Amino acid sequence: MDEVAAAIADPVRRHILGMLRDTPLTAGAIAERFAISRPAVSRHLRVLRESGLVCDELVGRTRIYRLDPGPLAPLVDWLGGLVAPERLVTPDTWEQRLDALETEVHRTRRERRAGGPADHRTERTA
């Protein structure tokens, strides 16, 4: 877990992991997206590979890198243990929150059209 935490501590490596989440890429394609040297990108890729977060495959003369999120699981579990359960935001709670927001928006619009309590445009009296 320490090796994985150290690997993701660097913002360049986190950015690389985000890029690889979407699609496998060559080292050249990764390096093109950074203002750092290709050797520096190669060193970042080596750290990610050694931590197990990235695997590579040689296809002809091209090395293709892929994300392997498996080593993140122990770190995610540990981080989850630091957050109080009532503060956890899961996809289900986000869905519930967004549904509640949508309901409130519709209610407010309805009340504004009817000139009801949600109409905050009333004039102040002097």
Task: Judge whether residue 11 has pLDDT over 60.
Answer: yes
3-state class (DSSP) for residue 42:
helix
Report CA 45 to chain centroid distance, whole Å. 19
With b meaning 16 or more CB within 10 Å and e meaning fewer, what string describes 67-96? bbeebbeeeeeeeeeeeeeeeeeeeeeeee
Identity at 121, one-letter amino acid code: R
Q: What is the pLDDT of residues 99-112, one digit of tens each?
A: 777 788 778 888 88
For the chain, the average pLDDT equals: 83
Q: Give the pLDDT band of residue 123 (cuts 50, 70, 90).
A: very low
**pTM score:** 0.64
Predicted local confidence at residue 89, as pLDDT: 62
Task: Judge whether residue 44 has pLDDT over 60.
Answer: yes
Measured distance CA(96)–CA(84) in Å, rounded: 19
